[in-house]
Chains A and B, each alone.
Chain A
């Protein structure tokens, strides 16, 4: 017998040919375990991401088998590396093209806060232009840390209410960034 751990089903009432549970638990479980990331890799953290995708650390076991490079088909925007001011509008455009629900993970010190580059040309953190869900510190973070960040995103996704994206708080959050 293999010792693979599969995702457990949510609590519910089971019977002959049916399984009843609440909708947001099922949707949360499905979304959390099939996140399609968009690797927005700009610099050194991108190489650590390539190592995370490789066979030693294997991000694919968490459901991220298909790296989507098209924002239209991605759930999770993984910003890895320094974002310069020249790149800011590009990042913003990629974020706006993603369809709801979408999550953003800022991998590395540069994406979280500008990192060691407190200069005139580096954006001091991507949360100046897009809302971020999880920050993974490190320069670069070890692959285990990146996987931990993805697992925290999975927790957020699993427990998110289905109506969150239509709520006034979320709309206010987007309005504060100027994203319509």
Chain B
């Protein structure tokens, strides 16, 4: 007697299961930036993912070979555009290392204040947007208002909100104005309370925790092997922070902790970023209260643009300004690698100069590019909505991904 299936001929036997292919395309409301993932799914569970990037490749490295070092600063802005002062100051530190210029203490403390403000701004974006992706839209509205206050502070120094092009080789273009002091004091007085309000809404919220605990985990060994850096690595349990390991800009003078997680899952990344905001506030307070007197720039007239009042009024200053910006001043030959702790981790600049007016080779060590390659492994076996939250919590910035 032949075996008759009781389910009819259309029933798919288990060994003939087919998987769905889903395109999490370059344009998607929840992927913050343009990167594509082609997911193989078994129902709702993800079997494998294949990422494609390069949708915003702007050829920074080739472009930098054409531009004198001051003209490279606006390019570095556009790497991690949520925290552009860190990129600018990192580039200026690299050039200062090559030129062997040492900056006065006041410049270091001013740089620390600006960089920590940028770090707070970037972590606010990441965490607020992670809240939005899990459905909590209120936090976004409130935390973006805080970002507006930080933009106000940048505007006092650099004149621009987002892509700041802040600072010069050797320091800053102007000292902190009295209005900046007022605004910074207001910010430091009011921000902690509002931030704790945001924290109380989300961090211990039952619904949020159910959505993010044990989602997208990665172990510390895997994270080190994938060259993770920044909050993603610290959430996995490794306390590697460039500010502590290779201090630059007088970071050794400040007393701060490095928040570290245990499981490397989305919840740990969120909480590590929240705690890093608190630590950054501590650093800003320490730097601001102990701001030393001194000059706001180093004494290196070959590389530091002259004062704007002189440029507008005296011919020599105008010519000198023109020469430096247009690259008539040569960089000394040499090769240097310098890294700063960006909001996403170790942001490195590898500069090879052949003594000409532009870098011979400039390579950016971009943390988002490096840790995004671990994404398929982090979401394997999870559900689609978990994959979206993992992506948001990793803080992949498209500008830094593709350069």
Contact = CB atoms under 8 A, between A and B. Distances in A.
B6 interface: no
A42 B81 CA distance: 11
Contacts of B398: 42-43
A86 interface: yes
B399 A44 contact: yes
Contact of B34 (A42, A48, A50, A142): A42
Interface stretch (B20-28, B228-236, B290-298): B20-28
Contact of A140 (B33, B55, B163): B163
What is the predominant secondary structure among interface residues of chain A facing chain B? loop
Given A54-B145, A54-B148, A55-B145, A81 B56 contact: yes
Interface stretch (B58-66, B112-120, B271-279): B58-66
B57 A142 contact: no
Contacts of A90: 25-27, 55
Contacts of B162: 44, 47-48, 140
B62 A119 contact: yes
A99 interface: no
A116 interface: yes
Contacts of A51: 144, 147-148, 151, 161
B56 A87 contact: yes
B47 to A, nearest CB: 25
A59 B78 CA distance: 24
Nearest to B30: A69
Interface string A92-127: 001000000000000000000000110111100000
Given A47-B82, A142-B161, A82 B56 contact: yes
A84 interface: yes
A62 interface: no
A50 B144 contact: yes
B66 to A, nearest CB: 9
A171 B54 CA distance: 33
Max count, chain A CB within 10 A of own CB: residue among B56, B148, B151: B56
Given A119-B62, A142-B161, A54 B144 contact: yes
B392 to A, nearest CB: 14
A64 to B, nearest CB: 15
Interface string B241-263: 00000000000000000000000
A87 B25 CA distance: 11
Interface in B143-157: 144-145, 147-148, 151
Nearest to B63: A119
Interface in B374-403: 398-399, 402
The 7 A-B pairs at the shortest CB distance, nearest first, are namely A54-B144, A69-B29, A44-B81, A119-B59, A87-B55, A117-B58, A121-B57
Given A48-B162, A54-B147, A84-B58, 9 more contacts: A40-B27, A47-B82, A54-B141, A54-B144, A55-B141, A67-B29, A82-B58, A119-B59, A140-B163
Interface of A: 40, 42-44, 47-48, 50-51, 54-56, 67, 69, 81-82, 84, 86-87, 90, 94, 116-117, 119-122, 139-140, 142
